[in-house]
Amino acid sequence: MRPVDFFNDIRKFCQTHADPAIVKKYQRYFRDNYDAWGIPHELVEKKVQQVTTIEGVNLNFVLETAPLLVRTGKYEETSIAIQLVRHFHKDWNRATFSAVGKWFEIGIHNWAHSDYISGELMPLFFKKQLIDYNSFEPWQTAANKFQRRAVPVSLIKPLKALACFDHYLEFIEPMMMDPEREVHQGLGWFLREAWKKQPIVVEDFLLKYKNTAPRLIFQYATEKMDTKRKAQFKREKTAGKR
């Protein structure tokens, strides 16, 4: 089977099972860039399981086909690409990480796929010792805001295995003034999880930015704090608004 035939088979599956009512149901979770067929998650998973049994479908074949799926912008087709790559995780190498990173350039345009990649694929790359936090350095200044968002979100699961994560805080520090809302959410989410492990360390970090960094970061980062602790991160009245 050629990659284009594989792609066409998946496209036919999507067209056959499309449901506008499901699209309408989930549209509210996306401000923009939600172009979906409307297929139940269980059916997508069954399709992935089915196509992975086809002779000749392996990691290299999937990586060759994935850009065809990701480039369409259709929600389920990108989700299938992510699931297919995950299925063959035992065969990953360093080049696999680079291949996944290139998807952001061609078709990762919503928070859900960014977080799916960050939460499902990246922890496995860490576990297999194919990457470390420095591998995300080029992502910090990527043109795609969802690739930048993926930096802090990808560090959340690895963070939980660390006794000390000062190097993670230092690494994300250049991103604290990023202009995009989706990146602010990702940073705040990471900092909230880090705070659960070492409150004082994270609070000291946040205090450095309380008058300059976007407020949405603090909204997420301080979500689990009590009122008294949250109060210390209010912007000083003399500081400029952002």
80-116 tens-digit pLDDT:
999 999 999 999 999 999 999 999 999 999 999 999 9
Query: By the 8 A CB rule, do 139 and 174 touch?
Result: no
Q: Does pLDDT of 24 surpass 80?
A: yes
Q: Compute the mean pLDDT over every residue in the chain, rounded to the nearest whole number.
A: 95
User: Could you read off the pLDDT of 198-224 as tens digits, one per residue?
Assistant: 999 999 999 999 999 999 999 999 999
**Cα angle 122-173-29, degrees, rounded to a multiple of 5:** 55
Q: How far apart are CA 219 and CA 203, in angstroms?
A: 13
Count other C-beta atoms under 10 Å from residue 11's C-beta. Answer: 16
pTM of the model: 0.93
31 burial type by CB count under 10 A (0-12 exposed, 13-18 middle, 19+ buried): exposed
Percent of the chain whose predicted confidence (pLDDT) is above 70 = 98
Count other C-beta atoms under 10 Å from residue 201's C-beta. Answer: 15
- Residue-level pLDDT at 239: 57
Q: How far apart are CA 224 and CA 219, in angstroms?
A: 10
**Could you identify the residue written with the tokens 């088979």?**
9
Count other C-beta atoms under 10 Å from residue 69's C-beta. Answer: 25
Q: Which two tokens stand for residue 152?
A: 């802090």
- Residue-level pLDDT at 43: 97
Percent of the chain whose predicted confidence (pLDDT) is above 90 = 94
Q: Which amino acid is at 194?
A: A
Q: Which amino acid is at 168?
A: Y
